[in-house]
Amino acid sequence: MELLSFEYIQLFTSVSFLFYGILSFTSHKMKNEFKRWGISRFRIIVGISQLAGSIGLILGFLYPLFTLLAAIGLSILMLLGFILRLKLREGVLKSSPAFIYFIINLIIVLNELNY
């Protein structure tokens, strides 16, 4: 299977969320970030959501509906993360990764809707 350039973005995003999903469960630094943000009770839900989104994007190569559903979920997750960081006044630099992943997943959603 030859990957199109757009599919590389989907693969990159799925690997990113797989990595961050695992870190949500294993990294002490990540656990401390959730405490600092005041949302430690949501850490497990966020981690599971990231892992599910990652798996959905990977499955989406075979079943396109999974791409759409996963990208919608990850877009919402990243928009909420971006809003949280703005609310905590963490600044543009610390808020930008969440915003960039929001935009990437939104582009994936729009691309899937065009097919």
Quick: pLDDT tens for 15-60: 999 999 999 999 999 999 999 999 999 999 999 999 999 999 999 9
Over residues 61-107, the pLDDT tens digits come to 999 999 999 999 999 999 999 999 999 999 889 899 999 999 999 99
User: Angle 47-42-92 (CA atoms, 0-180°, nearest 5)?
Assistant: 80
Q: Which residues of 101-113 are buried (b: 16+ CB within 10 A; e: fewer)?
A: bbebbbbbbeebe
Which stretches of 40-90 are DSSP H helices? 43-59, 64-87
Q: In the chain, how many domains are there?
A: 1
Range of the domain at 21: 5-114
Categorise residue 61: left if φ over 0, alpha if ψ from -120 to 50, beta otherwise. Answer: alpha
